[in-house]
Amino acid sequence: MSQGARDRRGEILAIAARLFARKGYRGTSMRDIGQEAGVLGGSLYHHIRSKDALFVELHNAALDAAEARIVAAVSKLDDPWARLEAACVAMLEIQLAPDSLTTPMMNDFREVPADVRAQLVARRDRFEKPFRDLVAALPLPYGADRSVYRNLLLAQLNSVADWYRPDGRLSPTEIGRQVALLVKGAAAS
């Protein structure tokens, strides 16, 4: 594959990622993607196999990149709470970056065909493993349900992209710290 073709494919992936993030899987047609790329919808099939495969590829690439950055951010630290905070900050810095291909918002699991959904769920479960480990290492009080705790933590992180305003008072980093602070306080009470 030539350099130009590889770049072209990357452009198309970036465009598709942005549209999927903004309008969802079903709300984004191949013709929409083609229009932003300056070609007709059918022409995209020279670069991709199907809409499903495109979506799965983007989803996996986003989670790969996010997971690598989170693991790296955490590895330098020892204290369990510091590690959790670093993971929250890293995740939000990735998820709220304005232009990256990694911007997911791909929690559209209900919008997607069943066989695609199975792949997304499997990849997401692997993605959540670092968080399971982080939460497992926390000194939570007796009676706290670590499974519920982890789900509530991830729900907070995933929600931020829905209400975050780039021109707001708080940066992604600061919001990440607030999330960590919130779930940390719970353990201290």
Partner DNA sequence: CCTACCGATCGGTAGG
The residues binding a second copy (CB under 8 A) are: 22-24, 26-27, 108, 110-111, 144-145, 148-149, 151-152, 154-156, 158-160, 162-163, 169-170, 175, 178-179, 181-189
Per CB under 7 A, the segment of 27-35, 62-70, 137-145, 179-187 that binds DNA is: 27-35
**DSSP at 166:** T
7 is an interface residue for DNA by CB under 7 A: no
| Binding partner of 100, given DNA, a second copy, none, CB within 5-8 angstroms per partner class | none
2 contact partners, CB below 8 Å, separation of at least 6: none
The two tokens of residue 3 are 């350099």
Helix (H, G, I), strand (E, B) or coil at 173: helix
| Shorter beta-carbon distance to a second copy: residue 7 or 125 | 125
| Shorter beta-carbon distance to DNA: residue 43 or 159 | 43
36 is an interface residue for DNA by CB under 7 A: no
Cβ(154)–Cβ(66) below 8 Å: no
Among 22, 31, 129, 146, binds DNA (CB under 7 A): 31
48 contact partners, CB below 8 Å, separation of at least 6: 9, 12, 54, 57
How many CB atoms lie under 10 A from the CB of residue 55? 24
| Binding partner of 149, given a second copy, DNA, none, CB within 5-8 angstroms per partner class | a second copy
Full DSSP string of 28-59: --HHHHHHHHTS-GGGGGGT-S-HHHHHHHHH
| Binding partner of 7, given DNA, a second copy, none, CB within 5-8 angstroms per partner class | none
Among 18, 51, 59, 83, binds DNA (CB under 7 A): 51
| Binding partner of 186, given a second copy, DNA, none, CB within 5-8 angstroms per partner class | a second copy
Distances (CA, A) of 165 to 160, 171, 175: 9, 9, 11
**Radius of gyration of the chain from its Cα atoms, rounded to whole angstroms:** 18
28 is an interface residue for DNA by CB under 7 A: yes
Give me the residues that bind DNA (CB under 7 A), please.
8, 28-32, 34, 37-43, 45-46, 50-52
